[in-house]
Structure 1
Amino acid sequence: MSSNDEATAGTTGVVAARIPVNGTYNFRDAGGYPVPEGVVRRGKLFRSDGLARLGDEGRQTLRDLDVRVVIDLRDDFEVSVMPDDVDGLDLQRLHLPVFEGSGASQSTIGITLVGLYEKILLQHGDVIVTALREIADTGGEAVVVHCTAGKDRTGIVVALALLAVGVERELVVADYAATQANLHGPWLDGMIDLVRSHGVEVTPDLRIILGGSPPEALEEALDVVERRFGSVREYLLATGLDELELAKLRSVLVEPS
């Protein structure tokens, strides 16, 4: 298997291969990671870039995966321009915009990737909590969390879901970092062309915002959370989840050993 399809995550787990869903570049299963007394269930929590170009083939793959819930973290404008191509599927659509604009648009105001993640975590934690609550409320039905790239907004939500149920930080960071290889090539080239068409200079920093997922970006953001709250669990409790909801999230996502 090529390095674009599978990435080693430390010594105790492997980042799941990209699932070839038509019209996507970064659709992956977030399951399979070990946790104390169990493992994250496969086929229950998926992460993806945009779902606007699924077509018949992509929609059939979502049926085959038995996806019943789609959580879209994009803003209203992004949804209006590139709506999810899921009509005709028996699933629930939940729109939970993290903030106004994409990660790329945030870079135009001089924000770095780490700054963007801190903004999501410290200013928009209510959306993260709502997303995790919705995942817990699926009752074990398969859910896809996505934004435009499946990298920043999706990356933070999925990372906190995995950390909340006990996945080691090293594995969570590796899961996040696997996105960069998936976006490299046609997806990133198309995004760069789009940005340039609006008269924006594509600097090295902007390239990272558009398609990069360096491990240190998530590491630094998690360090901020741990310094301020003590742990991700305490952050989630302070931001609105309660102990029962955290237990429910674990019961949905974790297969006991």
Structure 2
Amino acid sequence: MTSTRTDRWLRLDGTTNTRDLGGLPTHDGGTTLPGRVLRSDNLQTLTEPDVRRLVDEVRLREVVDLRTTAEVLLEGRGPLRAVPGITHRHFTLLPERGHHTDVFAVEEAEVPELPADWAESLLPRQVAEHDAGEPPAVRSYLGYLTHRPENVLGALRAISAGTGGAAVVHCAAGKDRTGVVAMFCLAAAGVPAEEIVADYALTAEVIDALVAKLAASPTYAEDMTRRDVASHTPRAETMNRLLTLLDDRHGGPLGWLTEHGFGREEQATLRARLRG
């Protein structure tokens, strides 16, 4: 389990947790290709040089945003939104009250102000009785799969559909919601479980800078300061437990995908996106 220690990080001024899902070994002796799928924290603070690098060098063409509608509206449009040729798709993994269309599908003249109690638009996540004893992070990840399976699949389909350039999937920190979607991408590509776990845990290397970055945003400051850094740090055992539960209940990540309508053909397309 050494491949994730290579320099897959994309060092940008405006992000802290951006890395390439390329360069990881697969069960059949292959390797995932660099420059196909990236994972990242929030892209709102990208600098002009960052944008030029992503567009010209990385050839970024798809942005898959996993934040809630409220997060997107509170943070505002990031600099990539002004770049022609980059498609933005939105798939919140948290349940929200009411029906929300893709917030990137319509260009409003002005972004509406959200009420002070915007966080209450997020529905309380019910925990299945048999999951009540799981660690909080594991319960959250299972919640994505229970309450927003269609958006997990939507994100994977958006990543699969990209051609001629790179896709980036991100949320706020790029560790939880992004970590679950990245897990499915790597599983479809044939990356062994231990490498998926190591990639998930790699965010721990940058957690101090990541928490500091989010704490500087009014949207996330309270959550960042309410808990200590250790509670925000992703741990290998968390992803390992999620994979174990998927194995036990669905025959693995690919079994979960198949059960939810993302079958062999779509899995092969996702695999090809990361493998060529």
Scaled to the shorter chain, the TM-score interval is 0.7 to 0.9
1:142 alignment counterpart: 166
Please name the residue that 2:31 is paired with: 39
SS at the partner of 1:94? strand
| Identity between Structure 1 and Structure 2 (%) | 28
Q: How does 1:193-204 map to 2 (within 5 A)?
A: 198=222, 202-204=226-228
Query: What is the aligned counterpart of 2:91 among 88, 91, 96?
Result: 96
The structure whose residues are more often strand, as a share, is 1
In 2, Cα distance between equivalents of 1:116 and 1:12: 28
Q: Report Cα offsets for 1:130-170 as digits up to 9, x if no partner.
A: 11112111135310000000000001001111011210111
State the partner residue of 1:77. 70
Structure 1 pair 208–107 and aligned structure 2 pair: CA distance change class (3 A)? farther
1:81 Cα offset (Å): 1.6
Match of 1:188 among 198, 211, 224: 211
Residue aligned with 2:173, SS? coil
Q: Give the deviation of 1:248 after TM superposition.
A: 1.2
The structure-2 alpha-carbon separation of the partners of 1:54 and 1:190, relative to structure 1 and needing over 3 Å to count, comes to closer
Aligned AA (1:189): A
Alignment of 1:20-31 (within 5 A): 20-31=11-22
Residue 50 (structure 1) aligns with:
42
SS in 1 for 2:226: coil
SS of the residue corresponding to residue 31 of structure 2 reads strand
The residue identity in structure 2 corresponding to 1:158 is A
**1:47-90 Cα deviation digits (max 9, x unpaired):** 00000011211111211210000000001111112233211242
Q: Distance in 2 between matches of 1:71 and 1:112?
A: 25
Letter in 1 for 2:186: L
The residue that corresponds to 2:104 in the other structure is none
Give unmatched runs, 5+ long, in structure 1: 1-9
Aligned residues: 240
Q: 1:228 to 1:58 in 2, by over 3 A?
A: same
CA distance in 1, matches of 2:184, 2:250: 14
1:132 pairs, out of 146, 156, 181, with: 156
The CA distance in 2 between the partners of 1:75 and 1:120, in whole Å, is 12
Residue range with higher mean Cα deviation, 189-198 or 141-150: 189-198
Provide the C-alpha distance between the structure 1 equivalents of 2:230 and 2:21, rounded to a whole number of angstroms.
Answer: 23
Q: Distance in 1 between matches of 2:66 and 2:58?
A: 21
Equivalent residue number for residue 65 of structure 1:
58
Question: What is the RMSD of the two structures over their aligned residues, measured on CA atoms?
Answer: 2.9
Cα deviation, residue 34, structure 1: 1.5
The TM-score normalised by the length of structure 2 is 0.77
Using the alignment, how far apart are the partners of 1:81 and 1:137 within structure 2?
28
Task: Give the superposition deviation at 1:122.
Answer: 2.8
Contact 1:126 1:240 in 2 (8 A): no
